[in-house]
Structure 1
């Protein structure tokens, strides 16, 4: 079956899978968003804080799983990206990795006896993961559109042309706009998740109030990002693989790929509808609508930057070194073999959905937390 596909078709197939995994990971980062809301919603009440942390603690591992799937698929399908970005921009990636490591440690050791760092320290770690980790990740993804400082020689050895090793991306307004958009978006989905998962009126009302604060700020940064995206020059390549700068490239991609543009519009609409129904009609199930919206929106952005003869990792210091799905992928044999493995993805997703359903059949309550022998 997959053997009959051309190399280009396999490359496109794997970029679609990576885009889907990227969208799913963006949704599951509601855990990170919820971590930044612990103080705002609990207001120092330890019972409420315990409910919030345990609600997130039952889901944080799903985020790690999805991140590993996303990174693994990207590494296996497009190894030149992995060697170029992770080998060159290592300070930004190490910073992101550190932020996610302290998250795992915090959930496991926050309530441990003889915890020499103290409970408060691990709660600070959770906030760092949900704020700095998310913003840096958004900045790193934004470089897919804005470009990075690297060059690749004829032997596919990459060279990073900035001493900041990736951290220079944090000084770009376009990159920052996506980083802060993602930060406030995951705070909104985190609040939607609390409303759906915890049976407590105080938490519900404070979460709604939090959404009312974060939604306008998110829209400001997101509209700035969209303005830059639709008006900026993009990085394209012709049939010979020669890179060139094209005006309004990312806007043109949406026009020339109407299905992707439709996905993007529907995704944004779903997020807005989820917030509207939660605020004005006190709906408690809008994490599903909002979550689907996040998946569709992020997936559409990945498809926009990777398909239609577009460089998904452009170089601003050596234009012809820019990476595309064509010049950075594995061989036909590798992608074919991986494609058969990808047939297991629907079963993995079905398992995650089943486990999620089993964990959420009964909402978290104050009584449950007080009687539980194990709390995060």
Structure 2
């Protein structure tokens, strides 16, 4: 494996890991989706908001870093998807902008819209955020309607536009194509499951903990139903691969073959699913440790699936309008120089992760209580 190929695989690993962490951090959105079902009184809702308000920045920051990392390492995907499917990405941006606005203003004195309005914003972000992100991730397997013409780079008469979207919906069609909605709904249920587990770990309030425990099994059943349906569909589907000549060809059962030909990914996927199932049992029993098993399982599962989507010569963004326009990590990456410089910068990532872990542990040293909220005039 030459240096460029190694760096392309390395950066797909980094991007996949960021995406996996992002899916785990959607527990904030899952908690917001359950805002009114877990908090029955103003005091309880304020406790739920204060608990989630300490973590929402991690989700938002990871989303931004994920987009920035994709732009730097695989710019052709960024320009094709973010530039072509802009209705979906603008919807995601709008939904995620609602979140900080809601946290900032829901308890502001003199708020002219009322606290309930901003509580509704939190619920909207909690439901639509995971749904849209899950649907967008689904297109990495099912594909999208775009074409690419690299010859336009030599166009001297105007802007060098090399990718075109071929439908007027600009990404919204993903909701009804390729089983993407199955994955989107599965991510919504997963976020709510992780949200319940987070509250068991973070809040010391008997009524909220009891309601969170009761919702573990229903949301877990919804997650397993939709995720298994999507996974079976994926493993039985045809995939698109790049042959030795650089041509894109159809390969039956491509993703199943990837898990078999890269058995460490199959083991990682199985371990992730088992860990998530274990977290469901722990959460149902009221254990504070459930979120850690759920978090590790989520990261392992998403990481294994995304690596299977990009490694082993797989087209990670198939084109449904022109098969040869499909994107692989080889034909869509940055230059060797750019990837090499970025790899040096990426060495600082472990220090950033260590800081996040330290800050998390400091904030979660003991469960959040009603008395702590009442004594804090700046709570969310």
- Same fold judged by TM-score > 0.5? yes
Which residue is 2:26 aligned to?
29
Deviations 1:285-336 (A, max 9, x none): 2101110110111111110100000011110110000011000000000000
Partner of 2:259: 254
Q: Secondary structure at the match of 1:52?
A: helix
**Given the alignment of the two structures, is residue 353 of structure 1 paired with residue 353 of structure 2, yes or no?**
no
Q: Is the 8 A contact 2:142 2:178 kept in 1?
A: no
Gaps of 5+ in 2: 154-161
Q: Show the counterpart of 2:250.
A: 245
The answer to whether structure 1 residue 82 and structure 2 residue 78 are counterparts is yes
CA RMSD of aligned residues (A): 1.1
Structure 2 counterpart SS, 1:343: helix
- The 10-residue stretch of structure 1 (51-60 or 211-220) with the greater mean CA deviation from structure 2: 211-220
Displaced runs of 4 or more, over 6 A = none
What pairs with 1:44-193 in structure 2 (closer than 5 Å)?
45-154=41-150, 155=152, 157-172=162-177, 174-193=179-198
Q: Encode CA deviations 1:226-260: one digit per residue, 9 max, x unaligned.
A: 11111111111112210011101111111111111
Alignment of 1:194-343 (within 5 A): 194-279=199-284, 281-343=285-347
3-state secondary structure, aligned to 2:378: coil
Between the aligned partners of 1:117 and 1:296, the Cα distance in structure 2 is 42
Residue of structure 1 equivalent to 2:13: 16
Partners of 1:90 and 1:128 in 2: CA distance: 20
User: Shift in Å at residue 172 of structure 1?
Assistant: 2.1
Q: Secondary structure at the match of 1:113?
A: coil
**Secondary structure, aligned partner of 1:236:** strand
Q: Deviations over 1:57-91 (max 9, x none)?
A: 00000111111111111110000000001111000
Task: Report the alpha carbon displacement of residue 134 of structure 1 after superposing the two structures with TM.
Answer: 1.2
Distance 1:188 1:111 in 2: 27
Could you say which residue in structure 1 is the equivalent of 2:156? none
Instruction: Please state how far the C-alpha of 1:362 moved relative to its aligned partner.
Output: 2.3
* Per-residue Cα deviation, 1:88-121 (whole angstroms, up to 9, x for no partner): 1000110001000111111111111221221111
Distance in 2, matches of 1:173 and 1:317, equals 14
Structure 2: how far apart are the matches of 1:203 and 1:118?
A: 24
How big is the shift at 1:5?
A: 5.6
User: Structure 1: which 5+ residue stretches go unaligned?
Assistant: none
2:122 & 2:47 partners in 1: Cα distance?
15
The 10-residue stretch of structure 1 (115-124 or 228-237) with the greater mean CA deviation from structure 2: 115-124
SS in 1 for 2:179: helix
Bigger mean CA deviation after superposition, 148-157 or 34-43 = 148-157
Give the alignment of 1:362-373 within 5 angstroms: 362-373=366-377
- State how far apart, in whole Å, the 2-side matches of 1:104 and 1:353 are: 22
Give the SS at the match of 2:250. strand
**Preserved CA contact (<8 Å) 2:265 2:308:** yes
Structure-2 change in CA distance of 1:51 and 1:195 (3 Å): same
Q: Give the TM-score normalised by structure 2.
A: 0.96
Q: Report how far residue 223 of structure 1 moved.
A: 1.2
What secondary structure is seen at the aligned counterpart in 2 of 1:299? helix
Q: CA deviation at 1:282?
A: 2.5
Alignment partners' CA distance in 2, 1:76 and 1:116? 42
